[in-house]
Amino acid sequence: MPRQQSLANHLLHPLERGARWATRTIRDALENRQQVTGNERILLVRHRLHITSYYRKFLDWVATELPDVRRYFELCTLPCRSRIDSRTRLVVPWVSENMVSRRPHVYRQLKELEAIANAGGIETINRVDRILQALKLEASEAIAAAGVRTPKMTRILDHRQFNRDFGGLHLPLLIRENRAHGGSTKSYLIRNRADVERVPLEKFEDPIAVEFINVQSPVDGYFRKYRYLAAGQRGIALSVQIAKEWEVRGTKRDLNAATCREEMEHQRQPDSNHQRFQQVRRILGLDVVAFDYSYTPTGDLVVWEINVLPGLGLEREPERQYINYAQRRAMAAIIELYLTRAGIEAPDSLSEIVATGWTPASPVRRSA
C-alpha cells in the first residue's frame, strides 16, 4: 500500500468513528420511526460505538419474517434514561461483558437504567451485574462452583513472577485475553519457558493463564467445540465447530462434507447437556447465554467460556445455509423470551419455529 494511502486510511478511521458516533442516534430515530408502532416497546440498548450493529442480521430477519414482532423493538444507545416511559415493557442490554468491565461509566449507565426500569416495574434481560460476571475467569470460577468442569485459570498480574511459576499451573497451558471473544486477540499455547518469553504480555489488557485440556478425539484426530444457547428455559444445540488444530473457532475449522453433515445432525438433536446448562444458567442469573464446550477423550464435559451476546443471523453462503435451521430456532427462542418477559403474548409461530426451523406468519397479541 502506498505511504500516502496508508496515511489517509490512518486519518480516516477516527473520522469515520466520529461520524458514526455523531449520527447513531439520528439513524436509530429514523429506523424506529419506520419500524416501531403501537404503545408497547422493548428497549434494545447498545453502546454508541461498540458492536452497535452486531445484531443487524438478527433484526433484519425479524423485520422480514416476523414484521408484527419487529414493531416492538426500539433501538437506543446509552445512556437513554429518558427512553423509559409508559410504553416500555422490557429493557434488553446488547452490551458485552468486555465493554462493561472496561468502561466504568458504561456500568454506571446500565445500573441507572436498570434502577429506573425497576422503579416502573419493568424487567431487564441479563442484568448488568450478571453480565459483568461473564468474563472468562469470573465465569469459569462460577461454573466450576456449580459442579461443571472448566479449565483452571489465573490472572497474570506480575509478568516476571509468572515466568517463574506459571501462576501455579502445569505446562502446557494457554495465555489468553480475559476481555475478548471470537479470536479478536491471539491465544498462545505455552509448552515450555521459551514460549512464555515470546508472548507480548505487555500488549494484553487483562491476561490470564488457562489450563490446557486436550480434547482431541483419539478416533479421528479432530478437536470439536460445541455451542449450546439458553434463552430462558429454551435450549438450542446451536453449532459444532470441528478442526485438526487445537484452537477451534469459526475462522479456524475444517469444512467438508463429513464435518458439515455432523454439524447438521448435531443441530437436529436436543443437546444432551440441556438440564445441566439450564441449572448453571440459573445459578449465573442470566436469561440469555451461550455455552462453548467440548468433551475429553474419556467423555467428560468441559465448558470453555460463556457468551451473553452469541452471534445470530442467517448465513448467506450456499454451502453454509444448513446452519440457518439452528439460527432460526435460536432467534425465535430469544424473541419468544423477550415477548413473554415483556408481558406480550408470543405468537404460536415462534414455538413452531423453535420446533421446526420454519417461519409461518402469525399475529402478535397482548397478553391478558
Residue-level pLDDT at 363: 47
Per-residue pLDDT, averaged over 309-321, amounts to 93
Mean pLDDT of the chain: 91
The residue written with cell numbers 418477559 in the block is 341
Q: What is the pLDDT of residues 225-260, one digit of tens each?
A: 999 999 999 999 999 999 999 998 777 788 899 999
What secondary structure letter does DSSP report for 219?
Answer: T
Count Cβ atoms below 10 Å from residue 19 Cβ, excluding itself: 11
For residue range 284-298, what is the model confidence (pLDDT) as tens digits? 999 999 999 999 999
Give residue 11's pLDDT band: very low, low, confident or very high (50, 70, 90). very low
What domains, with CATH codes, occur in the chain? 3-132 (no CATH), 152-211 (3.30.1490), 223-363 (3.30.470.20)
- Provide the 3-class DSSP secondary structure of residue 290: strand
**pLDDT recorded at residue 357:** 87
Task: Give the pLDDT band of residue 8 (cuts 50, 70, 90).
Answer: very low
pLDDT confidence of residue 360: 63
Checking if the pLDDT of 361 tops 60, the result is no
Mean pLDDT throughout 107-129? Answer: 97
Tell which residue, 30, 35, 46, 43, has the closest CA to residue 69: 35
pTM above the 0.75 mark?
A: yes
Which residue pairs, CB below 8 angstroms and at least 24 apart, start in 291-295?
291/227, 291/228, 291/230, 292/225, 292/226, 292/227, 293/225, 293/226, 293/227, 293/228, 294/213, 294/215, 294/223, 294/224, 294/225, 294/226, 295/215, 295/224
End-to-end CA distance of the chain: 63
